[in-house]
Amino acid sequence: TSRRKTDMNKRPIIIDTDPGIDDALAIAIALFSDELDVRLISTVAGNVGLDKVTYNALRLLKYFGREDVPVAVGADRPLIREFEDASSVHGKSGMEGFDFEEPTQQPLKENAVDAMRNVIMNSSEPVTLVPIAPLTNIALLLKTYPEVKRNIREIVLMGGSASRGNKGVMAEFNIALDPEAAHMVFHSGVKLTMVGLDVGLKALVLPEDSEEIRTMNKTGEMAYCLFKKYRGGSFRTGLKMYDATAVAYLLKPELFEAVETYLDVELHGTMTAGCTLVDLKGYLGKEPNATVCLDIDGNAFRTWFKEAIAKCR
């Protein structure tokens, strides 16, 4: 189709996700960006269980009129630990607050790991992975099919923190849910950028932005309804658009302040499991293995976010 032809000039990406209200907005922005070609959406247990996040991904694609984008179903639980959801933040369904139509699209028969492998290996151009959920699928992919590393351009993930947490005192949700998976990804040798809470907590959509977004288009209308139910931050003090920051990093890296550093994750702490260690001062004496975003221009992000939503359907 003609759409596919123009997409040849776009950067191919795979979004690994657990929609999730902030996931929904990140997906919308990526789908309607002139610069990105979303080749696959893979789902993983996270904000809510696997069946719900997969259903949500399908509902979003239906709503956006983008059922041409394949959806692959991934892991229903972390590698080792018990699954715990975040329905207190995103609501029981994971995308509470809006009445979506029933999707008609079926997920692929292949599981997420096989589907990711095929997209990566069949791409003429290296593919960028954008995980905005626990890293279970990505860890399984890199372990099962290490040959994919040759054709991955980089991983730009939302997760972790160079300071405090939002799931535990020190741990961020996506990493805390599956720290062993994060460990495998951090040590995989693939070029990695961590877009964590250091920027996510400052990537706010204020009430006046929500009002503006509401009347922009279909996506804005939906966003407004979801925002009203999003408890990640109150509607009045500003909503944290965590997952959209990973997409922002791809499209507008100049919004961020980032450093090359050594990045690891605590697996065995008695109170800090899942906490990322960003060794800014080089205490561990290790070579850098990641780029870590430490700051974002919050006002410029708000402007960018609104412009990006305005480009959606």
Cβ at position 142, least distance to ligand BDR in Å: 20
**Interaction of residue 279 with ligand BDR, rule CB under 6 A:** no
The alpha carbon dihedral of 177, 200, 86, 162 has a sign of: positive
Q: Which residue has the tokens 């699209």?
A: 105
Q: How far apart are CA 88 and CA 86, in angstroms?
A: 5
Candidate segments 18-26, 122-130, 211-219, 286-294, binder of ligand BDR by CB under 6 A: 18-26
- Contact stretch for ligand BDR (CB under 6 A) within 16-24, 27-35, 99-107, 180-188: 16-24
Q: What does the block give as tokens for 78?
A: 């972390």
Tell me whether residue 28 or residue 118 sits nearer to Ca ion (CB atom). Answer: 28
Would the CA dihedral through 43, 49, 54, 59 be positive or negative?
Answer: negative
Q: Which x/- pattern, by CB under 5 A, does the window 13-32 give for Ca ion?
A: -----x-x--x---------
265 in contact with ligand BDR (CB under 6 A): no
Q: Which is nearer to Ca ion, 261 or 276 (CB)?
A: 276
Task: Give ∠ CA 61-63-65 in degrees, rounded to 5.
Answer: 65
Question: Rule CB under 5 A: is residue 107 a binding residue for Ca ion?
Answer: no
Contact 30, 15 (CB under 8 A): yes
Q: Write down the least CB distance from residue 308 to ligand BDR, Å.
A: 17
The C-alpha atoms of residue 176 and residue 215 are separated, in whole angstroms, by 36
Nearer to ligand BDR, 56 or 118 (CB): 56
Is 89 a binding residue for ligand BDR by CB under 6 A? The answer is: yes
Task: Say how far apart CA 274 and CA 178 lie, in whole Å.
Answer: 7
Query: C-beta of 118: minimal distance to ligand BDR in Å?
Result: 25
What sign does the CA torsion over 17, 19, 23, 25 have? Answer: positive
Interface with ligand BDR, residue 22, by CB under 6 A: yes
Binding part of the chain for Ca ion, among 11-19, 33-41, 101-109, 208-216 by CB under 5 A, reads: 11-19
Please choose, out of 167-175, 212-220, 256-264, 283-291, the segment that lies near ligand BDR by the rule CB under 6 A: 167-175
Closest approach of Cβ 124 to ligand BDR, in Å? 30
What is the contact mask toward ligand BDR in residues 144 to 163, using x (rule: CB under 6 A)? --------------x-----
Beta-carbon contacts of residue 88 (< 8 Å; ≥ 6 apart): 231
**DSSP SS3 for 186:** helix
Q: Does 241 bind ligand BDR (CB under 6 A)?
A: no
Contact between 133 and Ca ion by CB under 5 A: the answer reads yes
Task: Round to whole Å and give the CA distance between 126 and 120.
Answer: 7
Give the Cα separation of 77 and 136 in Å (integer): 8
3-state helix, strand, coil in the chain (%, to 5): 40, 20, 40
Task: Using CB under 6 A, list all residues that contact ligand BDR.
Answer: 20, 22-23, 47, 86, 89, 132-133, 158, 166, 172-174, 242-243
